[in-house]
Structure 1
Amino acid sequence: MPVGVVLRRTPGVTRWARWAWRAVAVLPGAGPADWRELRREGEAVEYHAATVSLELYRAETEAYLHGITAREPSVYVVMRKTFGEHPFEIVLITASPYEAQDYCDSGEDIVEKVPMPAGLLAWVGDFVERYHEEEEFVKRRRDRAKVDGKQDGIGDPRISKPADIYASPGLKRGRLQ
């Protein structure tokens, strides 16, 4: 589904950041856009920055279920800072909090949590209802074999003499042996 991303630019609060940017809304079913100005309130401006495709996958239904059953169902907008005409490139929009976390871990991308509109929530919920299969939890059992009863060997197997097993490497003519 094509989804438009709305970014809001407000004046920065420090002298080092002239502007503060935040993803504030998504527009399900939006047409193509390239930083079209939507609204202006004083110095705050909202832009329809881009329209990207939201794709859902059957293997990710557990993540979508986790996202839509949260206190505030949300989608996640992944942005990357650019040095061109526009300050950000919209990389991805996802309904999976797990995938959003993966992008947060890299530290190179900016991930914004945006409330999911009712129509989009219904669409994702219908997908989850249709394809989600609950996996039964199987607790892994330990092997009951006792492995601590016998000693296989002592020391480094690369050392051939038993007398040298506990010897530490020494210097021989200025280099380690």
Structure 2
Amino acid sequence: MPVGVVLRKSPGVTKWAKVVWRAVCVLPGADPADWKLLRTEGEVSDYHVTTVPLTLYRSDTEAYVHGLAANVPCLYVICRETRDPARPLEVVMVTASPYEAQDYSDNGEDIVEKVMMTPQVHAWISAYVDTHHEEEAFVKRRRDKYQEPKQDGIGDARISQTTDVYRAPRTPRSGSSQ
């Protein structure tokens, strides 16, 4: 499903951040766009930055179930900073998987924004999950029954030792040289 990404430009609140960019919504079924100005109110502007495909995968249905069960189901917009002042952010992708969003968040390079899911997208993802999701039974992993060989305290078998290698060292006698 093609989704348009709307980013909001607003003034920063510190002297180090002059401008703040946030993803504010997605537009399901949007036409292609290239930083189209949607509205301006004072110093705040909304841009339809781009339209990217929202792709669902059968292997990720567990993540979609988790995302749909949230109090507020969301999509995740992954952005990356660019060096172009006219287009300061590049939208990498939009995903419905909170697990995939976490992976992008962990790398420290990408910006992950949470955007509320529209009812149309929610219905589309729910129908996909109903069709393709299969519950997997939890299987508890059991420890191997491998037994470590008994240690006899003599150490390396290749070195001749007649006593315990872990014994306390002898204290040197006074007046003797070592």
Range into which the TM-score falls when normalised by the shorter chain: 0.7 to 0.9
Distance 2:152 2:2 in 1: 62
Q: 1:15 Cα shift? A: 1.4
Indicate the residue corresponding to 2:135 in structure 1: 134
Larger radius of gyration: 2
Q: 1:139 Cα shift? A: 1.0
Please, which runs of 5 or more residues in structure 1 have no aligned partner? 167-177
Tell me the number of residue pairs that the alignment of Structure 1 and Structure 2 aligns: 162
1:151 matches 2:151: yes
Alignment of 1:39-58 (within 5 A): 39-58=39-58
Indicate the residue corresponding to 1:21 in structure 2: 21
**Scaled by the length of structure 2, what TM-score is found?**
0.84
Alignment of 1:151-170 (within 5 A): 151=151, 161-162=159-160
1:31 partner SS: coil
Indicate the residue corresponding to 1:115 in structure 2: 116
Instruction: Return closer, same or farther for 1:50/1:151 CA change in 2, 3 Å cut-off.
Output: same
Matched residue type, 1:119: Q
CA RMSD of aligned residues (A): 2.0
Q: 1:144 Cα shift? A: 3.8
2:16 partner SS: coil
1:4 matches 2:15: no
Indicate the residue corresponding to 1:80 in structure 2: 80
Deviations 1:65-88 (A, max 9, x none): 100110000000000000113010
Identity of aligned residues (%): 60
Matched residue type, 2:35: W
Distance 1:104 1:36 in 2: 27
Q: 1:152 Cα shift? A: 8.1
**Scaled by the length of structure 1, what TM-score is found?**
0.85
Please, which runs of 5 or more residues in structure 2 have no aligned partner? 167-178
Instruction: Return closer, same or farther for 1:116/1:142 CA change in 2, 3 Å cut-off.
Output: same
